[in-house]
Structure 1
Amino acid sequence: MKSVKQLLAELRDAANGAPRIYVPGGPAEPACVADALRETPDLADGTTFVGHWLPGINRTAWTDFHPNASAEGTFLYSEYRTAFEEGRYRLCPIHYSEAYEWLKSVPLDAAFIPVSAPNEQGDVSLSLGTDMSPALADRRYIRRIAVVRPDMPFPASAPRLPLSDFTDVLEDTAPLITLTDPPLSDESKAIAAHVATLLDEGFTIQSGIGSVQQIAMAAAAHHRNIRIHTGMITDATMEALNAGSIAPEPGTILTGTAIGTPPLYTTAGKDARFNFQPVSVTHSVPVLAAIPRLAAINGGVEVDLFGQLNSEWVKGRQVASTGGLGNFVRGAQLSEGGRSIIALPATARGGSLSRIVVQLASPTVTLSRAEAGYVVTEYGVADLTTADIDQRAERLIAISAPDFRDELANQWAKLRASL
């Protein structure tokens, strides 16, 4: 078995010093590759790293290993801010479904693919790396390197491949990345209670990343026979399981990856309800549209009185990207009895800033007003599905923080007179 440094050196030589390498994000990010580059930074000289690294979870900035290294990805967050400003990070602001398709054809010389330890038949599971790895499965002309993670689960329902299909095999003994959900605040509990009024027994739930996942699962705990179809799950799913909210049939928790603590990973490998599928399934609008009563529950930075959402910009700087939000919202809107729900606190910065605003200040709009569904804060629910422009403003002001309502109403009256 070759060392990581040997493989990286071979890749540089074969690509004349400018290799393009896929490095995955998620809980099984290859720590062994990062360690090798920290020890020998010249191995990153001229290298372009390609990946879908998740904000708040993947902290490695692959561009930091060498000033001549660059990266391409679909999210932008603080670790890549410097490289982005220097022009060494290429941001692709596309839907997650398109990011998967992009990975099928983007020029690559090699790909590190996390897998479980092999079973008795010599097969490995893509497991926690199922979201993106299958896009590389048929790219036989690139060097596909299996990164065996001994603590990665081997779920009953997840893509598996013969270990012999890989060009090279590495073992990464670093522990999987873990994520511990903080306790739900009183504010979030109130939001979850309002979201629960929009659900019912037998709904299928999608939830975004961050605190909205906890809100969604807390809302699910009010009901029974809930199914999950989402891109990522956290420990909050365990709470819904323990509450008896999740339907008992196999495959009722369909996801692309799981990021949490070891008990979640262990359960994902043993409980037949866990079903790992690639982004081509989890984020497919036709697949989502065919699910009856799909509730897409997502967050955002701010919503304006037209119903437009910004989930990417803070203080005029891009801090995130579109991700799968657009896929799930459109799927839920096409689902029979489906609902798109944006759940967010009414304020930010300790209550000094309203997240319900008259007009977005962000340079781009994440969701247009035509895609507005329900907006939920701790103060209630605003149904924007068929509301006209005046009803939208009225309903959104009603769920804003009380200290901001008069100001919002006055600003809206001035804006409305100019429309």
Structure 2
Amino acid sequence: MTAVRDLLVDLRDATKGAPRIHVPGGPAEPACLANALREAPDLADGATFIGHWLPGINRTAWTDFHPESRAEGTFLYSEYRKSFEAGRYRLLPLHYATAFEWLKTVPLDAAFIPVSRPDERGDVSLSLGTDMSPALTDRKKVRLIAVVRPDMPFPANAPRVPLSSFADVIEEDTPLVTLADPPLSDEAKAIAAHVATLLGDGFTVQSGIGSVQQIAMAAAAHHRNIRIHTGMITDAALEAVKAGAIGPEPGTILTGTAIGTPPLYEAAGQDPRFNFQPVSVTHSVPVLAAIPRLAAINGGVEVDLFGQLNSEWVKGRQVASTGGLGNFVRGAQLSAGGRSIIALPATARGGSLSRIVLQLASPTVTLSRAEAGYVVTEHGVADLATADIDQRAERLIAIAAPAFRDDLANEWAKLRASL
């Protein structure tokens, strides 16, 4: 096994002090690398870290180890705020499918890749790192570093790679990142019940990250023979399994990664229904479009009366990125019998702020009005797919919180007169 510190010294020497290093996100973020940099911060001097680190899951800001380090990524979360404002964090607002392709060509000197322990043939599984790792494993000029994790599952359905194909092997003894889903609120249960009316037996369900995953799985639990095709799953998927909603066939839970508690990781390694595939499969619009009755269930920050969605900005500051939302929405819209569903609470800040608004205040639009499908709050369902502009406003106002409906209707009347 190679010592992480020695490896970093070697990389700096080989690149004249400016290595470009891919660091994985998700549940297998390498704490051993962070610890090495914490103990010897000068090893980060001049380094650029590249990755797809997930908000709410990955808490390390790789630019914090040294003031002359930089990072590049596709999500922006609070730990990177200072570096972003200082121009040391390069944010790429890419769809997730495009981000995967970017990883195939972005200049890199080395890539840390989380893997399971090798089997009797010497193969390791990409397992929980299947989402992005396959974009790197075929890059011949990149120094591939296997981060062997004893607690990483070895799923029956996941890409395998010979351990001998890696230039270096290190072992990570820090446990996988865990994330426990909080109990569903009454508000979320009401949203899930409305979403369930848009599904049926045999649907394939995709769900975004955060609380919308629980909403989607709670909605799926009302039905049977459900399949899952998504970028990431949480413990909520196990709840759908326990409810008998998920079909029994192998491969019915197709995902790129999983982030949850040990029972989820154990199931991922033992239940043949788990099928780990890269972003080139999970987020491919042609693949998604070929799935009949695909329901893409995602969240957002606010929806305006034109049907436009903001899922990236809060109070004028960028807090997230596009991620896979656009890929899944477009795939669902092209799916035979498919549907795109935006599920969100009607209010924020303890009920003082409506999330159904007259016009988006954000400087960018995550989904245009032409991409609108269904919007669901705890107050009902608004079908926008074929609605004209007046019907959209009327239907969205109807699912806003009652306290805001009159003001929204009056504001729309004024705006409509000027259109």
Q: TM-score range by the shorter chain?
A: over 0.9
> Counterpart in 2 of 1:254?
254
- Distance in 2, Cα, partners of 1:410 & 1:141: 61
- Distance in 1, Cα, partners of 2:408 & 2:2: 63
> Counterpart in 2 of 1:305?
305
Residues 172-223 of structure 1: CA deviation (Å, up to 9, x unaligned)? 0000000000000000000000000000000000000000000000000000
Q: What is the CA distance between 1:13 and its match in structure 2?
A: 0.7
> What amino acid is aligned across from residue 72 of structure 1 in structure 2?
E
Aligned 1:14-413 pairs, distance under 5 A: 14-413=14-413
- Distance in 2, Cα, partners of 1:142 & 1:216: 39
> What amino acid is aligned across from residue 176 of structure 2 in structure 1?
L
Q: What is the CA distance between 1:2 and its match in structure 2?
A: 2.1
Aligned with 1:359: secondary structure? coil
Q: What is the CA distance between 1:73 and its match in structure 2?
A: 0.2
- Distance in 2, Cα, partners of 1:15 & 1:356: 51
Greater than 2 Å deviation, 4+ residue runs: none
Residues 109-138 of structure 1: CA deviation (Å, up to 9, x unaligned)? 000000000001100000000000000011
Aligned with 2:295: secondary structure? strand
> What amino acid is aligned across from residue 140 of structure 1 in structure 2?
K
Aligned with 2:26: secondary structure? coil
Aligned with 1:254: secondary structure? strand
**Aligned residue pairs: how many?**
419
- Distance in 1, Cα, partners of 2:141 & 2:320: 33
- Distance in 1, Cα, partners of 2:225 & 2:2: 49
- Distance in 2, Cα, partners of 1:396 & 1:161: 49
RMSD: 0.3
- Distance in 2, Cα, partners of 1:256 & 1:234: 12
Aligned with 1:27: secondary structure? helix
Normalising by the residue count of structure 1, what TM-score does the alignment of the two structures yield?
A: 1.00
- Distance in 2, Cα, partners of 1:111 & 1:137: 9
Residues 285-312 of structure 1: CA deviation (Å, up to 9, x unaligned)? 0000000000000000000000000000
> What amino acid is aligned across from residue 230 of structure 1 in structure 2?
T
> What amino acid is aligned across from residue 384 of structure 2 in structure 1?
L
> What amino acid is aligned across from residue 229 of structure 1 in structure 2?
H
> What amino acid is aligned across from residue 168 of structure 2 in structure 1?
D
Residues 249-269 of structure 1: CA deviation (Å, up to 9, x unaligned)? 000000000000000000000
Aligned with 2:397: secondary structure? helix
Aligned with 1:376: secondary structure? strand
Normalising by the residue count of structure 2, what TM-score does the alignment of the two structures yield?
A: 1.00
Could you list the runs of 5+ residues in structure 1 that have no partner in the other structure? none
> Counterpart in 1 of 2:415?
415
- Distance in 1, Cα, partners of 2:250 & 2:264: 17
- Distance in 1, Cα, partners of 2:412 & 2:63: 45
- Distance in 2, Cα, partners of 1:118 & 1:173: 15
Residues 14-54 of structure 1: CA deviation (Å, up to 9, x unaligned)? 00000000000000001100000000000000000000000
